[in-house]
Amino acid sequence: MIDKAAIIHSSAKIAAKVTIGPGTVIGPEVEIGEGTWVGPLVVINGPTKIGRDNKIYQFASIGEVPQDLKFQGERTFLEIGDRNIVREFCTINRGTAQDKSITRIGNDNLFMAYVHIAHDCEIGNHTIFANNASLAGHVRVDDYANLGGFSGVFQRCRVGSHSFATTGSMIIKDVPPYIKVAGSYAKPYGLNIVGLQRHGFTPESILQLRRAYKILYRKGLTLKNALLELHAMMSECPRLEQFIQFVEASTAGITR
Query: What Å distances lie between residue 138 and 33, 81, 95, 158, CA to CA?
Result: 26, 18, 9, 9
Residue 85's closest CA among 117, 42, 56, 52?
56
Active-site residue, selected from the candidate residues 120, 142, 143, 174: 120
d(CA 78, CA 59): 18
**91, 64 contact by CB (below 8 A):** yes
**95, 76 contact by CB (below 8 A):** yes
The verdict on whether 120 is a catalytic residue reads yes
Phi, psi of 74 (to 5 degrees): -65, 160
Active-site residue, selected from the candidate residues 119, 126, 138, 162: 119
d(CA 127, CA 85): 11
Angle between helices 203-217 and 223-232 (to 10 degrees): 150
The verdict on whether 137 is a catalytic residue reads yes
The verdict on whether 190 is a catalytic residue reads no
Active-site residue, selected from the candidate residues 137, 148, 160, 195: 137
Contacts (Cβ under 8 Å, ≥6 apart) of 96: 66, 68, 70, 71, 74, 76, 119, 120, 137
Contacts (Cβ under 8 Å, ≥6 apart) of 125: 81, 106, 107, 108, 109, 143, 144
| Residues assigned a catalytic role | 119-120, 137
